[in-house]
Structure 1
Amino acid sequence: MGAGNSKPTSEHSQHVFAADAPVRFSNELVDSLQNSTQSDSTRSKNLELQIQARVKSELEKLQAREAAKFSQISEALSDEPAAPEERPLAEKIGDTLTSSTALADKQRKQNISHNSVSKEIVELKKKLEARKKLEQVDPAVEKAKEDVVTCLRTNDRRPLDCWKEVETFRREVGRLEREFVEKTVR
C-alpha cells in the first residue's frame, strides 16, 4: 500500500512494442509523421466541421428552393380568381329571398383574394394611424418603461438585476392610478 509514489513522476515513459518481423518505414513517412502538428482529435474535429459546413450549405440550398416554390405557388393562388362553384338549390332559393345588400355582401366575400385582403389591411392600418389618441402617455411613465426595457435588454441573462427600474415603473404607474381615481371620484 505505501510502496508506490502517490504522485506520478515528471518523466514521460515511452512504450516500445517489439514486432515479430522487422518493420521498415521510409524516412519521408517517419519525418512527416513526426513533424505533423495534427493529432487524431484535431483531424476528427476538422472532418466534423467540414461535414457540418456541407450539411449547412445543402440545407440552405433546400430552403431556398422550397421558399421559391412556396412563393411561386402562393403567387399563382392569389392571382387566379376563385372558380365559381355550383351552389346547392337551397342556397339559390335563399338568395332570392334575401335583400340585395345582403346578396352583394355575400358576393363580395366570395370574391376576396389575397391581394384585395392585403390592400384592405393596409387601408385599415392607415385609418388607425390617422386617428388621434385620446390621452398622451405621461412622460415619466414612458421614461420608466424605457428604462426597464433598456435594463432588460442589457441584462438579458440576469433580469433580476433590473429591480430598481421595475420599482420606479411601478411607482409611476401607481401615481397615475391614484390621479385617475381622484379625478373620477370628484
Structure 2
Amino acid sequence: LPNNAGNFQEGYHEPALNIGCTAIALDTMGSSESKPISAHVWKASAPSSLSQDLVDSLQSSNETDASRTKIYELQIQARVAEELKKLQQQEAEALKIAHEKLNSAEYKEDGSLSQKTVNKEIEAMRKKLEERKQVRPLPEAVEGARNEVIRCLREHDRRPLDCWQEVESFKAEVKKLEKSWVEKVVS
C-alpha cells in the first residue's frame, strides 16, 4: 500500500463494492395490500467478486431483515423454553431424591432425630395417654366414703355442716388414692 493509503483525498481509492437494494414495503395496516409486491433488485455499480449464484439467491429471496429477525427470535425463544424445561426436570428430580433421602433416614448426620422418628415417638406417647384416660372403677374404700357423704347430705339436707366427719374420711381416702397413683407413675 502506498503511504497515503489512509487519505482518500490524495488520489488513492480502493475498489469498492456498491450494491444497492430496492424493495417496495407492504402496508399491513389494512385488510388488503395497498402497494404491489416487488422482488429485491440488486444492482452493482461496479464489477463484484460475488458469484452469480449468490446474487441470484439474494434476488429470489423473499426474506426481509424483519422476517429474519423474527425467525431468530422464535428460534431463541424455543431454545430458552427447551432449556427451562430441562432445568425444571432436573430440579424436580433433585427434589424427589432429596425427599427420599430425608424420609429414609432415621437419624441425620449430626445425630439428631429425624421427623419420622419424632412422629413415631409422639404417636407412642399419645397411645399411652389414651390408655391412662380410661375410667377405672374406684377402690372400695373410696366408693364407700363417697356413698357415706351422699347419704349424710340427703339425711341432713338443711344442715350440710353436720356431715363434716364423712367429708373428712372421703378426703383421706382420695388422698391415699392420689398418693398411690403418683408412686405408680413416678416408678
Larger radius of gyration: 2
What range describes the TM-score normalised by the shorter chain of this pair? 0.3 to 0.5
Higher helix residue share: 1
Higher RCO structure, 1 or 2 (CA under 8 Å, sep 6+): 1
Higher strand residue share: 2
